[in-house]
């Protein structure tokens, strides 16, 4: 059995909340005058959860392979049934040859939450190129992804060749916000933003775990199966961190870095059993960047009788919404007598959602905006 690297143990305690989302309408709502004019506000402690929906840790499942094989469809079926997702590489010069497949991917997979990331306009070694050559390739990849209807955020260097500072600078200047490496030694410390760390040390050199069968080339520092993976999943939970998995050819033993489908499905089951936010590199990148810049305040607004009539939430990050726009999860307390009651979320005088909270430790996921949100007890 392979030895597992010793990890630094970090003790973490997180409060969780059970909530039930009830579809709400978009009816206009008037805030009563006493809520607006009483002036008897009380600011309460509020924070932004480290991970969306207050999960303990985050994970991105990435696949440097095509998405249409029978094995990939089996993997996709499992993920969809378990409300999970996976990212696929986009080498834009290859994808643009078959726009019908691009439309199918966007309509059938991306619409269900499957992610994507830039992998070059051409699959080349960027570290062998000049800054200008890299910038041209990265920018062409970025612009073509936008033409496909995608929102480019994350990137993965072909072959993992993103070591040079000039390469990383060119990628940043092309508009990408993060980049994943493919370095075998990352198995020593693949945990991103562990503990109280708010942003990675280098957004353009993110580590990954290489998922690769031992039968491919005997790589003992790769993750060969679920037994190898589980200690990393558990340590990621302990460190409240983000981890990225990188797969290649699934069940295709003639292709680079292959991994067997039964092991992949066992990996997914192990992930599903733990409290991970399973999401794309794009969404997790945006969440981390926004959270690092965001400010939140929560106030109980009382009427003239001293009762909490509404709760005002202000959440802003001053980042361009056309580039960012990932909801953040706000944690705060409710008045005890609001518990087990239907609560409306109001934005711009319209009811957007309805909640029911079963404890007074509440969390809601909201888009950072310049206008306030309000929670009020539902009249329904």
Q: What is the pLDDT at residue 6? A: 53
Last residue of a domain, one of 245, 274, 303: 274
Q: Indicate whether 73 and 216 sit together in one domain.
A: yes
91 occurs within a structural domain: yes
State the CATH number of the domain containing residue 112: 3.20.20.370
Q: What is the pLDDT at residue 106? A: 97
- Asked whether 319 and 293 are in contact (CB, 8 A), the reply is yes
Q: Indicate whether 240 and 320 sit together in one domain.
A: no
The beta-carbon contacts of 10-15 under 8 Å, at least 24 apart in sequence, are 10/194, 10/195, 10/238, 10/239, 10/240, 11/238, 12/56, 12/195, 12/238, 12/239, 12/240, 14/54, 14/56, 14/240, 15/54, 15/331, 15/361
Q: What is the pLDDT at residue 26? A: 41
185 occurs within a structural domain: yes
Domains of the chain: total = 2
Q: What is the pLDDT at residue 54? A: 97
Q: Indicate whether 343 and 362 sit together in one domain.
A: yes
Last residue of a domain, one of 274, 306, 321: 274
197 occurs within a structural domain: yes
Q: Indicate whether 69 and 156 sit together in one domain.
A: yes
- Kindly state the DSSP code that residue 259 receives in the 8-state scheme: B
Residue whose pair of structure tokens reads 């990331």 in the numeric block:
117
Give the domain extent around 140: 57-274
8 occurs within a structural domain: no
Burial 298-323 (b: 16+ CB within 10 A, else e): bbbbbbeeeebbbbbbbbebebeeee
H or E stretch at 333: strand 328-333
Q: Indicate whether 127 and 257 sit together in one domain.
A: yes
Q: What is the pLDDT at residue 41? A: 74
- Render pLDDT for 329-360 as a digit per residue (tens, 0 to 9): 999 999 999 999 999 999 999 999 999 999 99
Q: Indicate whether 321 and 192 sit together in one domain.
A: no
- Asked whether 281 and 271 are in contact (CB, 8 A), the reply is no
Number of H helices, E strands in the chain: 10, 18
- Residue 370 CA neighbour count, 13 Å, CB half: 4
Q: Indicate whether 210 and 159 sit together in one domain.
A: yes
* Alpha-helix runs per DSSP H in the chain: 33-37, 70-81, 92-95, 99-108, 131-147, 165-174, 214-217, 226-238, 261-272, 281-293
Q: What is the pLDDT at residue 25? A: 40
CA 346 to chain centre: 25
Q: Indicate whether 243 and 112 sit together in one domain.
A: yes
Q: What is the pLDDT at residue 65? A: 84
State the CATH number of the domain containing residue 321: 2.60.40
Residue 91: strand pairing partners: none
289 occurs within a structural domain: no
Q: What is the pLDDT at residue 294? A: 97
Q: Indicate whether 314 and 263 sit together in one domain.
A: no
* Cα–Cα dist 373/367, whole Å: 10
Q: Indicate whether 72 and 45 sit together in one domain.
A: no
Residue whose pair of structure tokens reads 């909490």 in the numeric block:
308
In angstroms, how far apart are the furthest CA atoms of the chain? 74
* Cα–Cα dist 35/183, whole Å: 57
Q: Among candidates 277, 347, 297, which has minimal Cα distance to 84?
A: 277
Q: Indicate whether 183 and 67 sit together in one domain.
A: yes
- Asked whether 152 and 135 are in contact (CB, 8 A), the reply is no
* Cα–Cα dist 52/58, whole Å: 9
- Render pLDDT for 302-333 as a digit per residue (tens, 0 to 9): 988 889 999 999 999 999 999 999 999 999 99
Q: Indicate whether 185 and 302 sit together in one domain.
A: no
Helix%, strand%, coil% for the chain, nearest 5: 30, 25, 40
Residue 339: strand pairing partners: none
287 occurs within a structural domain: no
9 occurs within a structural domain: no
- Spans of the chain below 70 pLDDT: 1-40, 380
Structure tokens at 17: 């909340």
Residue whose pair of structure tokens reads 């978009």 in the numeric block:
26
Q: How do strand 178-180 and strand 154-156 relate by DSSP bridges?
A: parallel
131 occurs within a structural domain: yes
């Amino acid at each position: 059995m392979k030895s597992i690297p010793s990890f630094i143990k970090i003790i973490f305690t997180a409060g969780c909340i059970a909530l039930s989302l009830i579809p709400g309408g978009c009816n206009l709502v008037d805030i009563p005058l006493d809520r607006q004019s009483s002036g008897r506000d009380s600011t309460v402690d509020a924070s932004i959860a480290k991970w969306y929906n207050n999960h303990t840790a985050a994970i991105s499942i990435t696949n440097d392979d095509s998405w249409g094989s029978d094995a990939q469809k089996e993997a996709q079926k499992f993920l969809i049934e378990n409300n999970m997702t996976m990212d696929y590489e986009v080498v834009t010069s290859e994808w643009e040859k078959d726009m019908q497949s691009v439309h199918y991917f966007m309509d059938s997979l991306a619409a269900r939450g499957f992610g994507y990331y830039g992998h070059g306009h051409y699959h080349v070694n960027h570290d062998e190129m000049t800054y200008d050559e890299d910038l041209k390739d990265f920018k062409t990849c970025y612009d073509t992804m936008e033409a496909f209807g995608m929102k480019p955020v994350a990137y993965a260097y072909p072959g993992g060749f993103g070591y040079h500072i000039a390469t990383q600078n060119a990628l940043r200047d092309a508009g990408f916000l993060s980049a994943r490496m493919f370095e075998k030694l990352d198995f020593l410390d693949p945990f991103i933003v562990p503990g109280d760390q708010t942003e990675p040390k280098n957004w353009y050199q993110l580590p990954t775990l290489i998922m690769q069968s031992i039968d491919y080339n005997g790589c003992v520092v790769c993750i060969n199966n679920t037994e190898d993976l589980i200690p990393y999943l558990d340590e990621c939970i302990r460190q409240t961190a983000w981890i990225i998995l990188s797969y290649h050819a699934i069940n295709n033993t003639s292709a680079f870095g292959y991994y067997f489908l039964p092991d992949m499905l066992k990996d997914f089951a192990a992930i599903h059993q733990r409290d991970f936010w399973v999401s794309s590199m794009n969404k997790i990148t945006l969440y981390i960047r926004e959270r690092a810049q965001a400010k939140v305040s929560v106030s109980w607004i009382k009427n003239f009788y001293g009762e909490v009539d509404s709760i005002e939430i202000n959440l802003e990050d001053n980042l361009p919404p056309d580039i960012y726009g990932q909801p953040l999860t706000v944690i705060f307390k409710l008045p005890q007598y609001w518990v087990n009651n239907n609560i409306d979320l109001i934005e711009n005088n319209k009811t957007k959602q309805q909640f029911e909270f079963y404890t007074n430790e509440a969390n809601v996921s909201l888009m950072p905006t310049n206008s306030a949100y309000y929670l009020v007890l539902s009249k329904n």
